[in-house]
Amino acid sequence: MDSCISIHDIGFVRLVDTMGDDMAVVRAARVSYGEESKGDDADQKLINFMMSHNHGTPFEHINFTFHIKCPIFVARQWFRHRIGSFNEISLRYTEYEEQIWRPDAWRMNNQINKQSSGEGNFSEKEIECLNGEYDNAMDAAVITYNGLLERGVAREQARAVLPMAAYTEFYWTVNARSLFNFLKLRMADSAQKEIQDYAIAVYELAQPVAPWAFKAWESL
């Protein structure tokens, strides 16, 4: 198993491993009675019942491992979802490869919800100016980083000048119960668009593994 969806040209989400499926949920739920499957119809009804009544622990028996490449500012939002295991590439041990996220379009702050953004109303001249200032800042950070390394500065110190737009990579192992919580929050309209794009990719890769469980979650 190795399915991958590209995001923002440089980034990606890869589903590299899974353990369990819909039947893992059914077996976990029925173990109290010493039973397993009762047929597709009964098993799917059981999953729907557990999801609708918030019986969450059986869904913890489905696990996913993803390999993610995303901008640091997206990863920092991701890592707030603490019910899961993360291992991230370390710029103490590896030199940074010049890969910078650049926005496709500039947005403005949402005047109602201060935590979100909305469509930008910038003129072509303003967009050109914003792009230029952004690129100059990114280029300066990378040039400074490389210059520090060339002068012998340790990687663990030189990395401090890199911007939040620099790309990072990590592995994320998460159970289905926690994955549903992640998707609920990060696919929402109020989430930042960039992490929404990643969450949608996570959903598209995970859903075929346990279609009954995902259908039950979607029906909430």
Query: At 4, is the pLDDT very low, low, confident or very high (cuts 50, 70, 90)?
Result: very high
Judge if 27 and 83 occupy the same domain: yes
Instruction: Tell me what pLDDT residue 1 has.
Output: 65
Residues known to be catalytic: 186
The model's confidence at residue 114, banded by pLDDT at 50, 70 and 90, is low
Is pLDDT at 38 greater than 70 in this prediction?
yes
Does residue 99 fall inside a structural domain? no
The pLDDT tens digits of the residues spanning 47-70 come to: 999 999 999 999 999 999 999 999
Instruction: Assess whether 137 and 41 both reside in one domain.
Output: no
* Residue 100 DSSP symbol: B
Residue 95 lies in a domain: no
User: Does residue 189 sit in helix, strand or coil?
Assistant: coil
Residue numbers of the domain that contains 80: 3-90+170-218
- What's the confidence (pLDDT) of residue 75? 98
Higher pLDDT, 34 or 74: 74
CATH of the domain at 80: 3.30.1360.170
Let me know whether 142 and 83 are in one domain. no
Q: Are residue 156 and residue 175 in the same domain, yes or no? A: no
Q: Is the pLDDT assigned to residue 74 strictly greater than 70?
A: yes
Q: Is residue 131 part of a domain?
A: yes
Q: What is the pLDDT of residue 111?
A: 73
Beta bridge partners of 15: 3, 66
Quote the CA–CA distance of 192 and 209 in Å, as a whole number.
26
19 found inside a domain? yes
Say what the pLDDT of residue 2 is.
75
Same-domain check for residues 84 and 67: yes
Q: What is the DSSP letter of 102?
A: -
- The rounded distance, in Å, linking the Cα atoms of 46 and 38 is 10
Q: Is residue 102 part of a domain?
A: no
Residues 6+ apart with CB under 8 A from 31: none
Percent of the residues in the chain that have a pLDDT greater than 90, as a whole number: 90
- In this predicted structure, the answer to whether residue 32 has a pLDDT above a threshold of 90 is no
Q: Given this model, what pLDDT does residue 171 score?
A: 98
Is 101 contained in some domain?
no
Question: Same domain for 209 and 116?
Answer: no
pLDDT for residue 179 is more than 80: yes
Please state the domain count of the chain.
Answer: 2
Q: Could you tell me the pTM of the whole model?
A: 0.95
What's the pLDDT score for residue 118?
A: 81
For residues 98 and 33, give the distance between their C-alpha atoms in angstroms, rounded to a whole number. 56
